[in-house]
Amino acid sequence: MAGTIPRELEQDPVPFVKWAGGKRSIVGELRARLPEQFNDYWEPFVGGGALFFALHKQLRRAHLSDSNAELMTAYSVVQRRREELIERLREHAGRHCKDYYYTVRAQQESADEVAVAARLIYLNRTCYNGLYRVNSRGEFNVPFGKYKNPAIADKANVMACSRALEGVELRACEFSEIKPRRGDFVYCDPPYHPLNSSSFTTYTRGNFTEEDQVRLAGFAARTRNRRVCVMLSNSNTAFIRELYSERGFKLDVVLAPRLVNSRAAGRGAVEELIIRGY
């Protein structure tokens, strides 16, 4: 039974999807810059949720959201229907091969949320570079990944993530729809402003444009002015530095390894910004 692992024997959760821009490599840098105290935790671009899963034990109440509706369905299924999800992932694992991958990839949207979550996790674990990308019609279009032993049905981690998500508010929405209150903490990890035109910045239908970056900076400043602690990540470009320094935010440059990139030449450490309004 999936529910029988005693809590004290459980492993610490790590993101159940590998996401472009995942923050696992700089969690230490982010942690070192948290506000000393805060009430609720908000993450409106949650993606793989690396910072949330690293911090979950010290959070009072958390609110996670993302504009990617399938991803938020997966969070909700991990939270509420973990045993059915593990069963479904085991079925995928048992049938996994190149042809099966393309059959699952071609499947249309399903009304069954457990099927939606299992498909997303299965494709994420087995696709090329483990990177989520949809085409202009919103279809997942990444080729097969040729991994020897992909961890498709990672029961211990699904269980640990499910526990971490107990009591957490989950929502599929645009970042500007969240309503943090005074004393809360918001961490924003938006699609990054591109360093060059080949940078990977497409996560959902429609790009996150410079206009969206300006909208986010305005939202961050208004939120900070309501005495909410706001921290953001972004790439270290002149455009982003100006957006936030002119609004009075503090900027720190940190080095982050870049793992998700289709060209090997684009891998390696890059500078990025941690931006704070406190």
Ligand X SMILES: C[S@@+](CC[C@H](N)C(=O)[O-])C[C@H]1O[C@@H](n2cnc3c(N)ncnc32)[C@H](O)[C@@H]1O
CA angle 208, 42, 140 (to 5 degrees): 40
| Closest listed residue to residue 217, CA positions, set 236, 243, 193, 237 | 243
Given 13, 16, 22, 213, the residue binding ligand X (CB under 6 A): 22
Nearest approach in angstroms of CB 142 to ligand X is 15
Q: Is 208 in the site for ligand X (CB under 6 A)?
A: yes
Q: Is 209 helix (H, G, I), strand (E, B) or coil?
A: coil
Residue 253 CA, distance from chain mean position: 21
Q: Residue 90 is encoded by which pair of tokens?
A: 């085991």
Residue 116 CA, distance from chain mean position: 17
Nearest approach in angstroms of CB 172 to ligand X is 9
Terminal-to-terminal C-alpha distance of the chain? 46
Span from 21-29, 31-39, 122-130, 252-260 in contact with ligand X (CB under 6 A): 21-29
Contact at 8 Å (CB) between 15 and 121? no
Closer residue to ligand X, CB minimum distance, 96 or 187: 187
Q: Tell me the helix, strand and coil percentages in the chain, rounded to 5.
A: 40, 15, 40
Nearest approach in angstroms of CB 67 to ligand X is 4
The residues in 171-190 that bind ligand X, with binding defined as CB under 6 A, are 174-175, 189-190
Q: Is 23 in the site for ligand X (CB under 6 A)?
A: yes
Q: Is 169 in the site for ligand X (CB under 6 A)?
A: no
The residues in 44-83 that bind ligand X, with binding defined as CB under 6 A, are 44-45, 47-48, 50, 66-68
Q: Is 41 in the site for ligand X (CB under 6 A)?
A: no
Closer residue to ligand X, CB minimum distance, 15 or 96: 15
Contact at 8 Å (CB) between 193 and 237? yes
The residues in 88-117 that bind ligand X, with binding defined as CB under 6 A, are none
Where do contacts with ligand X occur on this chain (CB under 6 A)?
15, 19, 21-23, 44-45, 47-48, 50, 66-68, 174-175, 189-191, 203-204, 208
